[in-house]
Chain A
């Protein structure tokens, strides 16, 4: 088993992936919510027009 030159910093690895995941998921949910509200509003208008 070769000597590890540098200690593993799994904490940092998970922090990095974690931050990215949070950012991406938050943005995705923001998109979904916005799309839903827009579609709902559009349906509401069509309902009134009908």
Chain B
């Protein structure tokens, strides 16, 4: 294991451990997901058909909204506890920190998404189980993109005033194409079609994910310089 990899894993481990101990973010996000479920139901009305046809969009809307909350907090701990200098003084390639944070965020988002998928299946009476494999692929690709840009912008906005406003404002427009792709792919997959039918969307997601990951790895150090 290279020193770089070790550094990334240390950051990942620290974040996961903090989360496991406090369960702060996770609990709130679970509850938030539950609230979203009710919100969507009330917003769309009692028509079951309407809800089910909107399901792919609602699912990803839920993920993105939860992401705004969860990802936006990525660097709060460092900022609040005066650990920012600790980040700055880390020897070597700072992008290792980005990678570690990214992995932690990815895991966090995935856990929330699994819960949301389960809740959606139960409350909206939708069969998500039969398409679980393909759905997982779409979820994975979409979450990578969301986490990649989210982690980068979270680091940036941690030090900016009106962080809670600026983070969504910056993240959402960049998420739009990813959202188009993931919702379309999810629709295809939940419609019972094979994953191959969504190939174009998946390719777009893979391309976008790679682009955002590379940009994140290359530019993260410039955000850390104080």
Whether A and B touch directly in their complex, counting CB atoms under 8 A apart, is answered as no
B residues whose Cβ falls under 8 Å from a Cβ of A: none
A residues whose Cβ falls under 8 Å from a Cβ of B: none
